[in-house]
Amino acid sequence: MTAPILITGAGQRIGLAYAKACLSRNQPVIATYRSHRPGIDELRQAGACCIQADFGTNEGIDRFIETLRSETDHLRAIIHNASDWLPENPDQPPEAVMSAMMQIHAMAPYRINLACRDLLERGDSTTDIIHMTDYVVEKGSAKHIAYAASKAALTNLTLSFTRLLAPRVKVNSLAPSLIIFNEDDSAEYREKTLKKSLMGIEPGTRVAVNTIQFLLDNPYITGRTLPLDGGRHLA
């Protein structure tokens, strides 16, 4: 039986696109979501096991791990895609913002990786962990300081888990910038954002899907962060 791929935050955007790509080639998927979205219904109809999970608390992580273990005894990969994007806000204590960002982007992957190590190491084949980080780690952010710091922490977790789990499990990060606009993004925002990269395009989720699959298929890349930014670092 083919081991499933766990994809967190699979209700929309990159997570949803990769889950659909897996299911289209009969790769089993376990998808998590915090809030129900139409994409979850699509995944269920296509055969995915969908688990509601709130990684915002340690209790929520505990419940998820227990549920996951009731669904499978092995995993092909874990794609840590669940994310939030809280800005610094005068109406919210800064310690609350930092705590929330670290909980979702660092604590949850840290605990899930440790708890699922045996599920990844169950068979004879190499398995994978991919952390979805962010281009912002390279430059920081004046408006999303805690978010950038938490994604930087996730990038560092990639290095540590690579050392811990090699050679049985490959661990890498994918650091995208603009992949797909939100429907409510203004024309002014879109124009401004497109100018930030050398390629100047909205590439769509296919580039992320292809890169995730490339990492899973390549037996000799581990402990690396692959940028997916259209040359933004040079623009």
**Residue-level pLDDT at 98:** 98
Distance (Å, rounded) from C-alpha 93 to C-alpha 89?
8
**pTM of full prediction above 0.75:** yes
**Residue-level pLDDT at 170:** 98
**Residue-level pLDDT at 220:** 98
From 33, 110, 135, 147, the catalytic residue: 147
Residue pair 133/184 in contact by the 8 Å Cβ criterion: no
Q: Which residues does the chain have with pLDDT short of 50? A: none
Residue pair 130/212 in contact by the 8 Å Cβ criterion: yes
**Residue-level pLDDT at 230:** 97
The first and second tokens of residue 166, run together, are 């090699």
The first and second tokens of residue 182, run together, are 């939100």
3 state DSSP class of 1: coil
Distance (Å, rounded) from C-alpha 50 to C-alpha 110?
21
**Residue-level pLDDT at 148:** 98
Distance (Å, rounded) from C-alpha 194 to C-alpha 230?
10
Distance (Å, rounded) from C-alpha 188 to C-alpha 116?
44
Rg over alpha carbons for the chain, rounded to the nearest Å, is 17
Distance (Å, rounded) from C-alpha 9 to C-alpha 174?
15
The first and second tokens of residue 43, run together, are 């995944």
User: Within 10 Å of residue 61's Cβ, how many Cβ atoms?
Assistant: 21
Which stretches does DSSP call E strand in the chain? 5-7, 29-33, 49-52, 77-80, 127-132, 169-176, 225-228
Terminal alpha carbon distance of the chain: 47
Residue with tokens 């000799």: 220
- Is 147 one of the annotated active-site residues of the chain? yes
